[in-house]
Amino acid sequence: MKRITRNALIGSGVAAGVLGAGLLSTAELMFRLSLDVKYSHWMERLMSAPAAAPYLETPHRDAAEEAEAARWFETAKQPVCLRSEDGLKLNGWLFDPDCASPAPHLYAITMHGYTGGPAEMAKYAHRFARMGFTVLVPAQRCHERSEGRYIGMGWLERRDLMGWITLIVASDPEARILLQGVSMGAATVMMTTGEPQLPRNVVAAIEDCGYTSVWDQFLFNAKHMYHLPYRWMGVPVVSAMSAIARRRAGYGFKEASSVASLRHTIIPMMFIHGAADTFVDPGFLDRNIAACAGPDRERLLVPGAGHAMSASTDPDLYWSRVTAFVERVFGL
């Protein structure tokens, strides 16, 4: 009996070891594919996988506007650069107001999403330029011409955004700044609004399809994109990924939280999400709103819109609400 028990324990230990090694290997692979730009070619394959197709292939009802904005973006962009707190050279594009009589001291900073780039923000930048804003569109670290190896999912990037804000305020102390971002860019914006050193020059912010935390986002993707069993594989793998990220990139997934940051946010905020988003849980919308400490909060859930597709799915609804919010808060 003792021999049977001992053999059973040994067998259980071996099985647990094999399972643990498998989980760690999976976590290492997912970390590299998701956050290490040394493996960016795999990231591109990941974002073109069948799971990503529903929101990549959705028809754009604002296709004509997107084409016009893309042409404007290429002809009007002016290069600007910044050195991050950890020594990376960050690049971006600056745009003058695109209207006859712009109000003075108005600036908008618009942040792109994961594996994207400044050009994907052209239609948002053009709208704000036509409202009279000078618009800055940074390339987030590890994207386009900005340096970096590990993507921070908004957490490392929040300090980069603080640097861009400081750059604007240094050149124009009377600046009144709007922050806007989509997906990971939305998370960057939300995490930045909770920073203790946020200048009063930042007047308002708009987040479009951002997540509650990096932990929540990777758990959601583990279940819905990679189909990992939630309790016995999803949670351990994401936990191991977080530990790897802390060791190599300098942050853990739970600390990288929009919800925690929003508890310190007092500026007017607009929260937007597509009701048909399969990449970032639409349920994150109300959790982010509930966390926001500021009393001026607007909510927009766009029916039928996939990930980052709210403006393209219902442009009239989207821009009527966004324009009204911006004009109200900035007194335009």
120-130 pLDDT per residue, tens: 999 999 999 99
Is the pLDDT score of 279 beyond 70? Answer: yes
For residue 222, name the pLDDT band (cuts at 50, 70, 90). Answer: confident
Check residues 308 and 7 and name the one with the higher pLDDT.
Answer: 308
The DSSP code sequence of 177-239 is: EEEEEETHHHHHHHHHHT-TT--TTEEEEEEES--SBHHHHHHHHHHHTS---IIIIIHHHHH
Rounded CA gap, 116 and 31, in Å? 18
Burial label for 80, CB within 10 Å (0-12, 13-18, 19+), is middle
Question: For the segment 52-96, what is each residue's pLDDT rounded down to a tens digit?
Answer: 555 556 789 999 999 999 999 999 999 999 999 999 999 999 999
- Confirm whether pTM is higher than 0.75: yes
pLDDT at 16: 37
Residue 271 pLDDT > 60: yes
**Averaged pLDDT for residues 218-223:** 89
Q: Check the CA dihedral 163-117-149-254 and report its sign.
A: positive
The listed range with the strongest mean pLDDT (39-48, 97-106, 224-233, 285-294) is 285-294
Is the pLDDT at 107 greater than 80, yes or no? yes
* CA-based nearest residue to 242, from 42, 173, 250: 250
Whole-angstrom distance, CA of residue 212 vs CA of residue 190: 9
Taken in order of first residue, the domains within the chain and their CATH numbers are 49-213+256-330 (3.40.50.1820)
Q: Looking at residue 107, what DSSP letter applies?
A: E
For residue 157, give the H/E element and its range. helix 155-171
Residues 133-158, mean pLDDT to the nearest whole number: 97
